[in-house]
Structure 1
Amino acid sequence: MNGNDAIAFCEALLHDSGDDAESGEASFRDRIHSAATTISGPPAAPGVVAAIVADLDALRERAHAEMQEAVRAGKNDPHNWRRFYTDASLLRVFALLKVEEDVAGNVALENIAVLDHALVVAGAAGNGRYELITDTIATLQRKCRPPSPPTAATDDSPRANEILISDVALSSSTRTVPIIDPPPSLGRFAREHVYSPFVLRGYARDWPALSEHPWASTSYLRSVAGRGRVVPVEIGHDYRADEWTQAMMPWDDFLKRMKSGEALYLAQHDLFFQFPALQQDIIVPDYVYGAPAPPRDFPAYTPPANAEQLVTNAWFGPGGTVSPAHTVRLHLLSLSPYSPLFGRVRGVLETRCVGEEADPLPQDPFFNFFASLSKSEPSIFVLTLILALSPVQAVGRKTVWLAPPTATPFMYAYPPPSASSEDADASRNPAANTVAPSMSNTTRVDVFADARGDEEEGEFPDFWKHAVPLAMHVTLGPGDALSLPPGWWHATRSEETSFSVSMWY
């Protein structure tokens, strides 16, 4: 990114008259245009630029509030507000660079974080914005002290193919997920396996993420991101807990604090959108392009509506991190706007979800191929790959509990928001999430309880009597892959620090 790019961006904004449906958006655009005019013009006094930056920060705050309100109200994708947030973020950085091209390192880091928020919160909405943001981040990073060079895994670390994985026993499941060896051909997969869960041991062990570009190395993960990056993080082991919350956190801090054992979890985040170099470390399996027909027990299935018909997410957390048994809601805008999913997955799902009322017990909408590198969100195809980041652990493992859609009547899900206050458990609320507090897709049963207690069995008798016989489980290790059809209940627990990739198709 250079000064000419910034001027070209400002001039393009000034030629964009827009078609604002609401007067508030028109006023917002006028202030964007005013900032663009000053930035693209002759040099301005520092005081003028400071005033522009303050106004752009106020606009970013307003745009974020409007996006959150759109989530609360269940409105269609607020694309204009996401684009305003993106444009105000870019203009803020360009204004500072206009005053001082050689900005101090701390100022560069501050504005890298601003642009990361535009990626994560608003999805870099607008034609060409994503490329401009990533180029500008690279420019700002060059003004900072470079990070340490990447390092490979230590020589005494066991190789993935030297590690034997045994399933962790669960009282809530008596069966294990079938293992297929060798991996089926694409044709056999489509004929015989696409509608049932199965595991491919070691399927992804040849990925660069497990070899020459080791995601087990925090040094590599720092270097591939560069200085100053921030990511959306869940704080707490279980989102059903009252103390659970979310925050934007510096990537370096997240890696350091998670490695020390803090309950931090980067969950269901398109990390490849934010750090595109990581995309080269994984290999998308042919299975996800099989175009399966809807399952009989989930006829509402349609593939993601984006061009690739594929949604890829990262799951990265320490040992003990739990996703309770749940299904993914059809309207994924129940997620916090702290995610590019707000802007990007909404586009993937909106053909099915906009204007529809959510079912009381919605099911996962896609096939899921889950590669064991960390935590997973199965219900499309999921591919799971697990890597350890602890200097003590040689490998990360993740235990997954599954139950078919037929178990839904016995899963004791939380009541929907419309339920009466007598029926709702007010204390079980994702960190008092006022954006989307519904947990009607989540069970109240702890499927990872060490043993079945009389009290819990008395509270959830149908689960133990009817769901447990249908359930199955598996412990995934490095390079293992789990395939999961739509509509299945699933829970995950990281046995050690683990890094997973899920692919929804």
Structure 2
Amino acid sequence: MAGHNTAVNSNDVLETPVLDVEAHSLLQSISEEGGYAYVSMSTRAADGDIRAAEAAREVAWEQLHSGPWHSVLPVWRDAYSMACLHVAKFHYANGEFKEALRVLDMGLIMGGMVLRKDLESAVGKATERANAILRVSEESVNGSANAKLVTTQNAINLIETLQILPKNSLSCKHVGKRSSLSLEGFMRDYFLPGSPVLLTDSMTHWPAITKWNDLNYLKKVAGYRTVPVEVGKNYLCNDWKQEMLTFSEFLERIQSNSCDDDHIQELRNDIVTPDYCFAGGTEMKSVNAWFGPAGTVTPLHHDPHHNILAQVVGKKYVRLYPASFSEELYPHTESMHKNSSQVDLDNIDVSEFPKIQDLEFVDCILEEGQMLYIPPKWWHYVRSLTTSLSVSFWWAAPTSPASPTSSF
């Protein structure tokens, strides 16, 4: 549904103040990298040629896929953002707000940082117009007035849950649990020693706690947005891939259990960055919402930053091993996956990985309204026990220990 029989105000356009200032220098940088064809098409696009805008976007897209992602020159990511803005302007001017959003989202997902403010501003404006025209039909709303992601019928049975979890789950040490922990106590007892902790009573003021279990709310707020969706068992498997879907399409797949996991950033106003993330001179790295059906697994791996995993809807099982056990967890040798273990905890081959058998770990079931602090370099495995919506906060703190080695 790209076009609409609606009056379009000729003065209602997507403004791009950053692009207006940076266009000349960006095009010069692209020329210096041999992008003469792109520069020609982009110049015509700026003068109102939609075909040239689409062609410029295609040229930039090919450059983004010319080799490994880390080898792509940053200027081509900015070139892709520029082309997306040009294309989106045409769709917006024609009243094609849903299509404009799709293009802008691709610019945010695949593009560079120079034009990000323009993309985000344009997304906000296009979303307002799309929501005014492309509403969920009255029949859909009335037919699912009480549509919930997770209900009391989704309560887990512990005996059945243990049968699907890795061997010895919930039989050893549990992650320590603290209620209403002060920032000072968090720093003293967990942040500085480098130890995980389960934090309760720290999310009660989040609007997300009451809103994110409502399917109609999620469709209204983010239904038209394009998001990357992970398909396959997990990122270490050959069948793993990413697809681009609108969030409404993803919700439909979730309800049919036909996809895995997705990260969305369109619900930012419903969450609050925990005070704990300001420990140690904070530099926030990323905030992502993760959404997936029961059975979604994140394999055993570690991350370089401090991490608070906040559970908003549903339940997850989490197992953690300290950084000091890295050798016994058999990390992959290739650079792309060196932070991931070769051990499949759901099907451990003890003949190939004998050292893991006697390793101590801590684990927990992360319930709605709880946060789990995972220190840098701690290995963790995560499985969704129900449909799940959670938020991860990654931050760096220069004053924190470089390599926490606490053993519980």
TM over 0.5: yes
Contact 2:200 2:371 in 1 (8 A): yes
Cα distance in 2 for residues equivalent to 1:461 and 1:153: 47
Alignment correspondent of 2:344: 446
Superposition deviation, residue 136 in structure 1: 4.2
Equivalent of 2:167 in 163, 168, 171: 171
**Residue 84 in structure 1 maps to residue 79 in structure 2:** yes
Contact 1:151 1:220 in 2 (8 A): no
Write out per-residue CA displacement over residues 467-499 of structure 1, whole angstroms, 9 at most, x where no aligned residue: x22x21111111111011101111101111101
What letter corresponds to residue 294 of structure 2 in structure 1? Answer: G
Cα distance in 2 for residues equivalent to 1:14 and 1:415: 45
**Greater percentage in strand:** 2
Write out per-residue CA displacement over residues 206-242 of structure 1, whole angstroms, 9 at most, x where no aligned residue: 422122x2x112111001124x322100012322222
What letter corresponds to residue 109 of structure 2 in structure 1? Answer: V
Residue ranges of structure 2 left out of the alignment (5+ in a row): 1-7, 396-408
Cα distance in 2 for residues equivalent to 1:196 and 1:504: 16
Write out per-residue CA displacement over residues 402-441 of structure 1, whole angstroms, 9 at most, x where no aligned residue: 1111111111223316xxxxxxxxxxxxxxxxxxxx3232
Distance 1:473 1:53, change over 3 A: same
Superposition deviation, residue 319 in structure 1: 0.7
Structure with larger RCO (C-alpha < 8 A, sep 6+): 1
Equivalent of 2:122 in 133, 140, 144: 133
| SS at 1:20 equivalent | helix
**Residue 210 in structure 1 maps to residue 209 in structure 2:** yes
Superposition deviation, residue 323 in structure 1: 0.8
**Residue 461 in structure 1 maps to residue 354 in structure 2:** yes
Cα distance in 1 for residues equivalent to 2:66 and 2:38: 17
Cα distance in 2 for residues equivalent to 1:121 and 1:487: 28
Distance 1:13 1:31, change over 3 A: farther
Cα distance in 2 for residues equivalent to 1:184 and 1:9: 44
Once superposed, what is the RMSD of the aligned Cα atoms?
Answer: 3.3
Alignment correspondent of 1:223: 220
Write out per-residue CA displacement over residues 163-218 of structure 1, whole angstroms, 9 at most, x where no aligned residue: 9999956425653333333232111111112120011235324422122x2x1121
Distance 1:143 1:54, change over 3 A: farther
| SS at 1:499 equivalent | strand
Contact 1:372 1:499 in 2 (8 A): yes
Contact 1:254 1:264 in 2 (8 A): no
| SS at 1:413 equivalent | coil
Cα distance in 2 for residues equivalent to 1:8 and 1:202: 42
Identity over aligned residues, as a percent? 29
Write out per-residue CA displacement over residues 34-61 of structure 1, whole angstroms, 9 at most, x where no aligned residue: 2212x3xxxxxxxxxxxx3333222212
Superposition deviation, residue 71 in structure 1: 4.2
Alignment correspondent of 1:368: 307
Q: TM-score of the superposition, structure 1-length normalised?
A: 0.66
Structure 2 matches for 1:108-127, cutoff 5 A? 108-122=97-111, 125-126=114-115
Residue ranges of structure 1 left out of the alignment (5+ in a row): 40-51, 293-302, 328-363, 374-386, 388-395, 418-437
Structure 2 matches for 1:231-246, cutoff 5 A? 231-246=227-242
Distance 1:14 1:403, change over 3 A: closer
Cα distance in 2 for residues equivalent to 1:11 and 1:128: 7
Q: How many residue pairs align between the two structures?
A: 373
Superposition deviation, residue 130 in structure 1: 2.8
| SS at 2:245 equivalent | strand
Cα distance in 2 for residues equivalent to 1:399 and 1:504: 20
Cα distance in 1 for residues equivalent to 2:61 and 2:44: 20
Distance 1:479 1:131, change over 3 A: same
